[in-house]
Chain A
Amino acid sequence: MENSTNSKTENAVAAPQAAASGSKPVTSDSTSSPADPQQAPAAPKPTAPKPVAVAPAVKKPKQDRAPENDHGIWRISRRNFFSVAGWAAFFVFIAASTIGALRMMFPRILFEPPSSFKAGFPTDYLVGEVSEKYKDDYRVWIVRESEGFYALSAICTHLGCTPRWLEPENKFKCPCHGSGFRRTGINFEGPAPRPLERLKISLSDDGQLLVDRAIKFRYENGDWIKPDCFLKYS
Chain B
Amino acid sequence: MPKIREKLQQSEVWKSIFRHNYQDTNRNRALQIVDNVFLHLHPVRISRHATNIGFTWGMGGITFLLFIVLTITGVILMFYYRPAAEYAYDDMKYLMNDVAFGPLMRNMHRWAAHLMVITVMLHMFRVFLTGSYKAPRQFNWVVGVVLLVLTLLLSFTGYLLPWDQLAIWAVTVGTNMARATPLLGHEGPFGPQLGMRIDNDVRFVLLGGTQVGPPTLLRFYVGHCIFLPLIAAVFMAVHFWRIRKDGGISGPVSNGKE
Contact = CB atoms under 8 A, between A and B. Distances in A.
* A is bound by B: yes
Interface of A: 105-107, 110-112, 159-161, 176
A112 B172 contact: no
A106 B200 contact: yes
B216 to A, nearest CB: 11
Given A105-B205, A107-B209, A110-B209, A159 B173 contact: yes
B169 interface: yes
Contacts of A111: 209, 213-215
Given A107-B215, A111-B214, A159-B176, A176 B169 contact: yes
A107 B200 CA distance: 9
Nearest to A214: B198
Interface in B213-254: 213-215
Counting from the closest, the 10 A-B pairs by CB-CB distance are A159-B173, A160-B176, A105-B205, A159-B176, A110-B209, A160-B172, A161-B169, A112-B209, A107-B208, A176-B169
Given A105-B205, A106-B200, A159-B176, A112 B211 contact: yes
A112 B209 CA distance: 8
Contact of B213 (A112, A161, A176): A112
Interface string B134-146: 0000000000000
A161 B170 CA distance: 9
Given A112-B210, A176-B169, 18 more contacts: A105-B205, A105-B208, A106-B200, A106-B204, A107-B208, A107-B215, A110-B209, A110-B210, A111-B213, A111-B214, A111-B215, A112-B209, A112-B211, A112-B213, A159-B173, A159-B176, A160-B173, A161-B172
Nearest to B200: A106
A110 B172 CA distance: 17
A160 B175 CA distance: 10
A159 B175 CA distance: 9
5 contacts: A106-B205, A107-B208, A112-B209, A161-B169, A161-B172
